[in-house]
Amino acid sequence: MLMNNDGTALQNLDGSIAVVTGAAQGLGLGIVEQLARDGATTIIADLQLEKAETEANRLRTDGLEVHAAHLDITDSAVVTTFFERVANEHGQLDILVNNAGVGQKVTPIVELSDEEWNRVLNATLTGAFYCCRAAGGIMERQEYGCIVNVASINGQNPAALVAAYNVAKAGIISLTKTLALELAAYGVRVNAVSPGPVYTEFNRRNMAQRCETLNITEDEMIERIRSAIPLGRWGEPTDIARGIAFLCSPQASWITGEVLRVSGGMEGVSATPPKRQKN
C-alpha cells in the first residue's frame, strides 16, 4: 500500500469490492495485486479458472483478500448473471477494471479476415461493453462506484497492421467517455488508462509476429521499442496498476471521463510498413 509521510494509506481501498477481468496473468494480475495491497477484496475474473485460482491462492498466502471466478466476457447473459451474483454475495460492487481482451494477428487491413476482425472486436470491445453495462447498472442503483477500462496508446495513435485492435481500443475510449457522462449524476466515475509497451506474454506474441514482418530479431525489436520511449525503459505491470489504483481511489474523486496515458511518455508507434512481396 502506498503511504503518506504520516503513515496513513495514500490510496485506501479498504472495504471495497473489486472485479478485474482477464486477470489470471500479466497486466491484469498486476492490477489485482495492487488493488488488493491497497485494501480491496479483489476478484480475478477469467476464462482460465485453474490459473486464476492458483494466483488467488498465492496472493492470499501474502495476506491479501483475493478470490477467483470463471467469466466469459463474450457471453452477455453470463456477464449479467456474474455481476449480479458478485453484488449479492458481497452486498456491493465498488470497482470494475475491464482488462480482458485479445491481441490481433499482425496483418494489413486488405488481408484482414472477417473472423479475425470479429474475434478481436468481440473479446476486446463488446466484452467490455457487456461488463460496463452490467456493472454500471448495479453502480447506478447504489449511486456510487468506479469503472476503469484498459485502453491502449493504439486507441489514440493507431499502429499499422493491427487495425482491429486499434479500433477496439479506440472504441473502449469512446465507451468510457460516454458512460462517464451517463453515470455522473449517480456519482459513478468512469475512466480509462492507456498503457504503453509492457513486456508481458501478450506483447511477446505480438512482437514475434512483427519481428517476422520486419525481418529483425526479438532483441532488436525490444531495443527499438525501448529507445522510442522517452523515459528509456519498457513498462512493468506495476506501473499501469498504480495508475489504475489511483483512479479507483478517493484521491481521484473529481476525475471522470478521462484517459490516463501511462506509457513512459510514448504516444504511439507510427512506423510505415514496407511494400509486401506479392506471390
Long-range contacts formed by 4-10: CB under 8 A, 24+ apart: 9/38, 9/39, 10/249, 10/251
Which of 144, 165, 186, 199 is flagged as catalytic? 165
Annotation says 165 is catalytic: yes
Dihedral angle sign, alpha carbons of residues 199, 22, 252, 133: positive
Q: How far apart are CA 11 and CA 249, in angstroms?
A: 5
Q: How far apart are CA 30 and CA 152, in angstroms?
A: 16
CB 187 within 8 A of CB 143: yes
- Under 8 Å CB-to-CB from 31, ≥6 apart: which residues? 20, 23, 97, 99, 237, 240, 241, 244, 245
18: left (phi over 0), alpha (psi -120 to 50) or beta: beta
Identify the DSSP state of 151. -
Long-range contacts formed by 272-276: CB under 8 A, 24+ apart: 272/160, 273/108, 273/160, 273/161, 273/213, 273/214, 276/108
Q: How far apart are CA 201 and CA 168, in angstroms?
A: 20
Give the three cell numbers for residue 257: 471521463
Catalytic residues, by residue number, are: 165
